[in-house]
Chains A and B, each alone.
Chain A
Amino acid sequence: MAGQIQGSSPVALSIRNLKKVFRGKGERVTALDNVSIDVQEGELFTLLGPSGCGKTTTLRCVAGFEKPTGGKIDFLGRDFTTIPSFRRNIGMVFQSYALFPHLSVFENVAYGLKVRKDPRREIEQKVDGILQLVGLDTTKKRKPSELSGGQQQRIALARALVYDPQLLLLDEPLSNLDAKLRVYMRGEIRRIQQRAKVTTLFVTHDQEEALSISDRIAVMHAGKVSQIGTPDEIYEDPHSIRVADFIGQANFFECTVKKQERGLMVLTFPSGERISLNSTSAMLSDFPHPNGVLFSRPEQIKVTPEPGRPNTLNGKVKSILYLGSVVRYFIEVFGHTIPREVLVDEDRRIKGVREGDEVGLVLDEDDVRLFPPDQKEQLQKESS
């Protein structure tokens, strides 16, 4: 299956059928429901999902702060669940950074080494080295409270890496930074992780962050893994409406599906408009249902100033949003039946297209996906 083990690196962290049930006041909440993940050695693996999806619980189970109700966590052949947290040799960066407020920057970073009873000389060398790596070698004597958010974040990273852990856990480490710093720091984390060559499990709810930083991503929902794959696979080839909807912007169109010979398919929309696709993709040609939901990303649709041409959808420009790198068109289709807004991203403004104009939409045959209709209903039921 795509997105599972690829390449030559052996598996470092293996999570098998992980289960976690929280017991509250006469209530049982299943936080993790058979989560299975393999993380390769040296890989930056991301758990991505909305809050409450179980990503942090998975991380805390790996750290040993939560005891799994069932399942196995193996790391390099050792059964992690029988080893207490402090012996797992893990580095961890917390959402709140959790720096020791009573210790200086140096003492914070040196903490793990002192606990390991390293010789003094060695501790100083290692701390200096790691502070250089994170680009903060001038603030050793200060207290964490005197540092900026970005600096605290680097100290937290340095503290987690200084004792050469075999596994690095990052729990939403960027969520407390402002937008610009967040983008910068995620690049830094990637750079430092690559330099340290440490197997990393990264937790975030920010899909852009996940796409930009990860080797592979597990998209989670309601305690389950929805899909595992590289950022490209997750974005371009989502296996379900849920993943397609959660990652990036998505357009969905209900339609009926009629197959014709040689891979040609005819899709009929509620408005009666139809388009035919000549697709080579297995996902389209093997589609078994008579009805479906067509999925297309905003940048996979083209706006043409002339409506009414064959194989296009007709619509009316509701508004145009200039976003800098792209221009986003909000276009209403199926106007006389069930109006639906479509997002189209173009690299630049299309000449002669203004708000209120009638336009045609051309779908990229190679990129569109079809999903079974029941998935959409399920998603709508949950969100209402």
Chain B
Amino acid sequence: MGGGFKERLRNIELTTHVVLGLALLILLVFIAYPLSKVILNSFLEAGDVLSLENLTLANFSQFYTSTLYKSALLHTLMVGFLCVLFSCLLGIPMAYFVAKTEVPFKVVFLTLGTLPLILPPFVGAYSWVLLFGRQGVINYFLDRLFGMSLPDIYGAPGVIIAMTMSYYPFVFLLTYGALLSADPHIEESAEIMGASRWRVIRTVTLPLVISSIVAGALIVFMRAVGNFGVPAILGGNFYVLPTLIYFQVTGFFNLHAAGAIAMVNVAMVGMAILLSQYVTAKRSRATITGTTQAARISTSKILKWVGTVFCAGVIFFSLLPHLTVIVTSFTEGWAGTRYPTKFSLENYRRIFEIARTPIRNSLFLATTATLVAAVVGTLLSYINVRKRFRGRWILDLTVMLPFILPGIVVGVAILTGFSSGLIILSGTWMIMVIGFFIRRMPYIYRSTMASLSQIDVAVEDASTIAGAPWLTTFRKVTLPLMAPGILAGAVIAFSTLMGELSTTIILYSAKWKTITVAIVEYLFSANIGPAYALGTILIFLVLGAIFLANRILGRRMSQMFRMV
């Protein structure tokens, strides 16, 4: 009987259990706990303790009684659906042109078509006002030349345009990927049977990629109904649920009411997920094969030119707000005048006087959260892939939830979880790191899972049998082989955290303002110059991180976002 208690203790791999157990504990404390608490709280009135008879629907009653609530609910749905519609109208043709026609500059289109995903939408949002607003450049010229003017950009039109131009890449990239990987033989056989090109597209190609289109549309919907920044800047009196939540939290600090609105917001996302599954389940999608055959390309000259103009147009229009941000940041006083009058670095000088702290804060918070997310996300994906156990889907769901939920809901949940009770962190940087970390961990979790499933288990076994304990094997074999996946996930996490607003706006405190909060504050106080200088810094920080990662990984940006 193997040599006594001491040796037996030595033979249990304690580190494995401690390390992996810790990762699961973090999952429980920082995701499961706050989310359950916010759900429970939404059914309790503020001040009541948790008990069965205290459960109530009072927090939800305003959806009956208040016109503000009712209209916000309708607005949110409308924004969601219209963004999906317009994203499909832009994204699907663009995917078709880039994948299936002889459009030039495909790499450029793909790269620039991915950019809006990384650039925070609210940063560019105000540019729409500068361009198309009542006092904007376009209106000015339209008025001068034709004596006509555009409808007011504030409210629904602005919100929907700004979001669509930020989110259409989800539909574009996913559809493009599906078009590339769909077996070209299927289309060829339809053509041989005598179907016209349009008929082939309608009856063969489209059904082959429909599940990818739906997946893209779903992400657009989830982002649109959860976005806080764009409606906050462009909404005016046009309220949506995220802005309503914000006022409940900052105006009344009523986390119970905010929680109830959040639940409605979440229900919307949930319904969209069910709907998308219903749509894709009805159609077979088993036909997307990993064939080595290249996608068949249409040689039509007309399609080529129409496609080029269309793609270039969409990309120009979608990047216009951010270009405006950059150009404006180098001018003095566009806001107020018709167009930029004097170029200078004045805005940047002011920024370095007043906004050094937000820049430092953003860098610190995003870096810390990314590091934590990299460690925990890597461990959790390791648990999921390597430790086969029942109920792994619970682990999967818990990790992915903060990715699915609107950012502002995650913010409310974290604030609910850690502003009272056992752990009180409100007002500290830690609560922000927690919110950042759980929101962006899914990126790292997913990308490390992908690279981990590429690693032959036997390679790890070989290390074990050579005499390496679990931690040594993990450090010397598993981790180096996972490194590209970790880096890819971490870069996306970091760069999107730099532009994070929805969660931040709920969790930040005066001392821990971030770049994004500062930008919103400047915009609200009509300090366009400094806001845009800060926005430009943000844009280049994000682009720099992505560029660096591409250099190290040798991958294109559009490929890195394939998994999103």
> Could you say which of A63, A64, A100, A112 contacts B477, with CB atoms under 8 Å apart?
A100
Say yes or no: A116-B8 contact (C-beta < 8 A), given A96-B458, A159-B462: no
Inter-chain CA distance A221–B1, complex, in Å, is 31
Q: Of residues B462, B472, B473, which shows the largest number of chain A Cβ atoms within 10 Å of its Cβ?
A: B462
Q: Of residues B464, B469, B476, which shows the largest number of chain A Cβ atoms within 10 Å of its Cβ?
A: B464
Inter-chain CA distance A294–B468, complex, in Å, is 54
Contact B464 A86 (CB under 8 A): yes
Contact A101 B459 (CB under 8 A): yes
Indicate whether A78 reaches chain B with its CB closer than 8 angstroms. Answer: yes
Q: Of residues B8, B466, B468, B470, which shows the largest number of chain A Cβ atoms within 10 Å of its Cβ?
A: B466
Indicate whether A47 reaches chain B with its CB closer than 8 angstroms. Answer: no
Indicate whether B11 reaches chain A with its CB closer than 8 angstroms. Answer: yes
Taken residue by residue from 1 to 44, chain B's Cβ proximity to chain A (1 for < 8 Å, 0 otherwise) reads as 11000001001110000000000000000000000000000000
Say yes or no: A83-B465 contact (C-beta < 8 A), given A96-B458, A102-B481: no
Inter-chain CA distance A65–B466, complex, in Å, is 13
Residues of B within 8 A of A169 (CB): 465
Residues of A within 8 A of B466 (CB): 86, 91, 111-112, 115, 159-160, 163
Say yes or no: A98-B2 contact (C-beta < 8 A), given A84-B11, A85-B464, A86-B464: no
Indicate whether B467 reaches chain A with its CB closer than 8 angstroms. Answer: yes
Inter-chain CA distance A169–B465, complex, in Å, is 10
Indicate whether A92 reaches chain B with its CB closer than 8 angstroms. Answer: yes
> Could you say which of B12, B456, B459, B467 contacts A112, with CB atoms under 8 Å apart?
B467
Indicate whether B544 reaches chain A with its CB closer than 8 angstroms. Answer: no
Q: Closest Cβ of chain A: how far from B388's Cβ, in Å?
A: 11
Q: Closest Cβ of chain B: how far from A174's Cβ, in Å?
A: 16
Q: Closest Cβ of chain B: how far from A359's Cβ, in Å?
A: 52
Residues of B within 8 A of A102 (CB): 477, 480-481
Say yes or no: A87-B467 contact (C-beta < 8 A), given A82-B2, A100-B459, A100-B477: yes
Indicate whether B152 reaches chain A with its CB closer than 8 angstroms. Answer: no
Inter-chain CA distance A107–B485, complex, in Å, is 23
Indicate whether A89 reaches chain B with its CB closer than 8 angstroms. Answer: yes
Residues of A within 8 A of B13 (CB): 84
Q: Closest Cβ of chain A: how far from B483's Cβ, in Å?
A: 9
Residues of B within 8 A of A95 (CB): 458
Residues of B within 8 A of A160 (CB): 465-466
Contact B465 A90 (CB under 8 A): yes
Contact A101 B481 (CB under 8 A): yes
Taking CB atoms and an 8 Å cut-off, the chain A residues in 115-131 that contact chain B are: 115-116
Indicate whether B62 reaches chain A with its CB closer than 8 angstroms. Answer: no
Say yes or no: A86-B462 contact (C-beta < 8 A), given A78-B2, A98-B456, A102-B481: no
Indicate whether B346 reaches chain A with its CB closer than 8 angstroms. Answer: no
State the interface size on chain A (CB cutoff 8 A). Answer: 32
Contact B461 A94 (CB under 8 A): yes
Q: Closest Cβ of chain B: how far from A273's Cβ, in Å?
A: 55
Residues of B within 8 A of A83 (CB): 2, 11
Say yes or no: A94-B458 contact (C-beta < 8 A), given A63-B465, A86-B464, A100-B477: yes
Inter-chain CA distance A192–B480, complex, in Å, is 32
Contact B469 A94 (CB under 8 A): no
Q: Closest Cβ of chain B: how far from A164's Cβ, in Å?
A: 12
Contact B468 A115 (CB under 8 A): yes
Contact B2 A94 (CB under 8 A): no
Taking CB atoms and an 8 Å cut-off, the chain B residues in 356-377 that contact chain A are: none
Residues of B within 8 A of A79 (CB): 1-2
Contact A91 B8 (CB under 8 A): no
Indicate whether B463 reaches chain A with its CB closer than 8 angstroms. Answer: yes
Residues of A within 8 A of B8 (CB): 82
> Could you say which of B456, B458, B465 contacts A86, with CB atoms under 8 Å apart?
B465
Q: Closest Cβ of chain A: how far from B413's Cβ, in Å?
A: 34
> Could you say which of A64, A88, A100 contacts B463, with CB atoms under 8 Å apart?
A100
Q: Closest Cβ of chain B: how far from A251's Cβ, in Å?
A: 40
Inter-chain CA distance A112–B13, complex, in Å, is 19
Residues of A within 8 A of B469 (CB): 84, 86
Inter-chain CA distance A91–B476, complex, in Å, is 18
Q: Closest Cβ of chain B: how far from A100's Cβ, in Å?
A: 6
Q: Closest Cβ of chain A: how far from B381's Cβ, in Å?
A: 19
Residues of A within 8 A of B11 (CB): 82-84, 87
Say yes or no: A92-B465 contact (C-beta < 8 A), given A82-B11, A83-B11, A101-B459: yes
Closest to B479 in A: A102
Inter-chain CA distance A318–B5, complex, in Å, is 71
Contact A111 B463 (CB under 8 A): yes
Say yes or no: A92-B462 contact (C-beta < 8 A), given A82-B8, A98-B456, A115-B472: yes
Inter-chain CA distance A96–B459, complex, in Å, is 9
Residues of B within 8 A of A92 (CB): 461-462, 465
Contact A100 B465 (CB under 8 A): no
Inter-chain CA distance A100–B479, complex, in Å, is 12
Contact A63 B463 (CB under 8 A): no
Residues of A within 8 A of B461 (CB): 63, 65, 85, 92, 94, 98
Inter-chain CA distance A159–B462, complex, in Å, is 9
Inter-chain CA distance A155–B464, complex, in Å, is 17
Residues of B within 8 A of A98 (CB): 456, 458-459, 461-462
Residues of B within 8 A of A115 (CB): 463, 466-468, 472
Residues of A within 8 A of B456 (CB): 96, 98
4 interchain residue pairs of minimum CB distance: A98-B458, A112-B466, A82-B2, A98-B462
7 residue pairs of the A-B complex, CB under 8 angstroms, read A86-B467, A86-B468, A89-B467, A94-B458, A100-B462, A111-B476, A159-B462
A-binding residues in B (CB < 8 A): 1-2, 8, 11-13, 456, 458-459, 461-470, 472-473, 476-477, 480-481
Extra inter-chain contacts (5) besides given A64-B464, A83-B11, A86-B468, CB under 8 Å: A84-B11, A92-B461, A92-B465, A99-B459, A102-B481
